[in-house]
Structure 1
């Protein structure tokens, strides 16, 4: 019972309708996350919304998930589902239950700086390991080019793996060579310019040879699995090099070079969601390239 009133039930159909109405525009990864969380909530509650069930579910989340981020996702998506259910049924009684399912405030560990230091030597070691491996020659070329592109551009791995051969070829045909990443390929939906470093050109031309315009150039899963099977120790930090570390390398190396203006953030699609960015800033590809080359032009990873 809920507050002495009737039992409020929901079904898998309610979840499906919510996903169809509210989550159709999110990425496949986010959609799967939300679906998994709501399915978990349904199985735990047996499709019943009441004070006791919500309190028990909150306690269950804290026991099962030590990660703050994972717990936070569960609270956000379940609360959004309950709010939507209340609106769809026009029942205040449902939304009044949210007071029993709130994310408790906890003191989180404050980290002033990342503990992972990624150096040019780490990137070189990865490239050397691939060169010495028994991989087919074409695979070596692709992995080598992928690592170089990530290190020289600071792109997110998932973004890099969505870029097509046509986009790279169009960039190479321009002067200066600047890649345009589409909004639908970016995590924060920001279309942005990515200068192609001169050290990348030869490697890119080899990898693009034989690909059709719609082919994605890099294979994220293959390279990720190779890194997993052939761990590369970091030189200044405990642990092994991961693909996502190459974005950290670009950020940290840019700081060393003095490349810290808005052009760097625009290239990385990082910290660009404020009103100041979305309403006032604009970048010409030739200016982004000029600023980038001023600092990164002399950098030779290999």
Structure 2
């Protein structure tokens, strides 16, 4: 039994149609889809080259032995498993013994050890002073103005709303209305696939408007640009700002019901949250607030916090 590169191309066409479904997709989603398919194509062509297209236990073992020299062989084995599973369905043949061989070669994942306390310097230990230090370090660096503005705006937006890094990096200029004091995070850009209101801190709103005016990027906070600036001058990571917002919100007086609405916890996060803190579950918890009501409550509390140091100025 053999397979060809034409089989691989047919599989990728099938996946491309599956990714799209019946809905229109944004240019950002299109780029992600194209990048994913290209990565799969390279890995499956390697699978073909190593096995010479032969579907036999000996050729599969040759592939496994070759990929075992890599730190994470699973990232090469998984595409082969997906391809063979699809191919056997299309051909009506049985490749389950080959799939089992591949599955058995994947490294066993060890469970990460957890601690019931926060170490010094952990994400639970971030203070407002740490946020200011991080922003000032970027501001004083020799980074060009637009990348610097982008990195500081991303930091301040994440720290003042708890936006997840992946949600932040999906934002496009069209998602932000410069006139409004909030924006609606689209469901397709949210981890929980639910639209939610993101209030804009007064300082963040000013910087966002500057970024919208001067930046020509399709994404407001492209991953490469943020990572480059953070690696050169930042002292914190994007993921730390979500924990900071969660922990600092009660200190500024933002009620949990509004904080949860802004942060958009998924079910697993909510379960951990309910185990760790006592929430006063009242009628208020079952209400859905308007964007204006959430923003108004946010401005009464977080709106009074100086999230960006006074010395940081862009014009």
The alignment's TM-score, normalised by the length of structure 2, stands at 0.68
Does 2:119 correspond to 1:117?
A: no
Change (3 A) 1:78 1:286: farther
Q: What is the distance in 2 between the residues matched to 1:12 and 1:87? A: 17
CA contact (8 A) 2:43 2:79 kept: yes
Task: Determine which of 149, 155, 162 is the counterpart of 1:147.
Answer: 155
Deviation at 1:250, TM superposition (A): 1.8
Q: Offset of 1:82 from its aligned partner?
A: 0.6
Q: Which residue of the partner structure matches residue 4 of structure 2?
A: 11
Q: Is the contact between residue 165 and residue 211 of structure 1 (CA under 8 Å) also seen in structure 2? A: no
Q: What does residue 271 of structure 1 align with?
A: 266
Post-superposition offset of 1:184: 3.8
C-alpha distance in 2 between matches for 1:216 and 1:60: 38
- Change in 2 beyond 3 A, CA 1:211/1:63: closer
| 1:218 alignment partner in structure 2 | 221
Aligned length: 270
Tell me what 1:248 maps to: 240
Residue 105 and residue 288 in structure 1: after superposition, are their counterparts in 2 closer, same or farther (change >3 A)? farther
Counterpart for residue 279 of structure 2: none
Q: 1:294–1:18: structure 2 CA closer, same or farther, 3 Å change rule?
A: farther
Looking at structure 1, the residues matched to 62 and 208 of structure 2 have their Cα atoms a distance apart, in angstroms, of: 54
User: Are 1:47 and 2:53 counterparts?
Assistant: yes
Query: C-alpha deviations, 1:192-238, integer Å up to 9, x for none?
Result: 332222331222233233568x954334423322333x244x5xxxx
> Could you tell me how far 1:136 is from its partner in structure 2?
4.4
CA distance in 2, matches of 1:82, 1:189: 31
Mapping for residues 76-155 of structure 1, pairs under 5 Å: 76-92=78-94, 94-103=95-104, 106=108, 108-112=110-114, 117-118=122-123, 119=126, 120-155=128-163
The answer to whether structure 1 residue 208 and structure 2 residue 219 are counterparts is no
Aligned-pair Cα RMSD in Å: 3.8
Structure 1 stretches lacking a partner, 5+ long: 1-7, 235-240
Q: CA deviation at 1:86?
A: 0.5
| 1:179/1:108 CA distance change after superposition, 3 Å | same
C-alpha distance 23-138 of structure 1, shift in aligned 2 (>3 A): closer
With over 3 angstroms needed to count, the CA separation of the structure-2 counterparts of 1:152 and 1:257, relative to structure 1, is closer
**Structure 1 pair 136–231 and aligned structure 2 pair: CA distance change class (3 A):** closer
Query: 2: distance between equivalents of 1:265 and 1:32?
Result: 38
**8 Å CA contact 1:254, 1:260 repeated in 2:** no
Measure, in 2, the Cα distance between the counterparts of 1:90 and 1:23: 22
Partner of 2:43: 37
After TM superposition, the score normalised by the length of structure 1 is 0.71
